[in-house]
Amino acid sequence: MNIGDKIKGTITGIKPYGAFVHLENDTTGLIHISEIKTGYIDNIYNSLSVGQDVLVQVVDFDEFTKKASLSLRTLEEEKHQFPHRHRFSNNRYKIGFQPLADHLPIWIEESLDYLKK
């Protein structure tokens, strides 16, 4: 098990500070209440229930005790990320400002011709 892995599991117990999860690779982990979702959780029992199947992401793993710190929040935030868009260039083409630089002398010439009239 590595940090960042996404693993399916079943919630086996809930406490006010988090939920215990039995993972499909026969290890146990804890989803701390701060890792359940973004924002404030008033009552953990309203968000999760015993026996619920969940997909979690490994935040930390202790190889000695074989226990994992898990997160649902990171998977939720991953869904809401939008692709980064460049305003003046396309990230598929590494051209940057080159088209502007190529057309600049033409535009300057056109502008000077216009001003002379």
pTM across the whole model:
0.64
CATH homologous superfamily of 6-79:
Nucleic acid-binding proteins (2.40.50.140)
Lowest average pLDDT, out of 13-17, 23-27, 31-35, 67-71, goes to 23-27
Tens of pLDDT, residues 57-97: 999 988 888 888 999 888 887 776 655 555 555 556 666 67
Tell me how far CA of residue 115 lies from CA of 55, 100, 105, 109, 110, in angstroms.
66, 21, 15, 10, 9
Domain range annotation of the chain? 6-79
| Backbone angles phi and psi of 78, in degrees to 5 | -65, -35
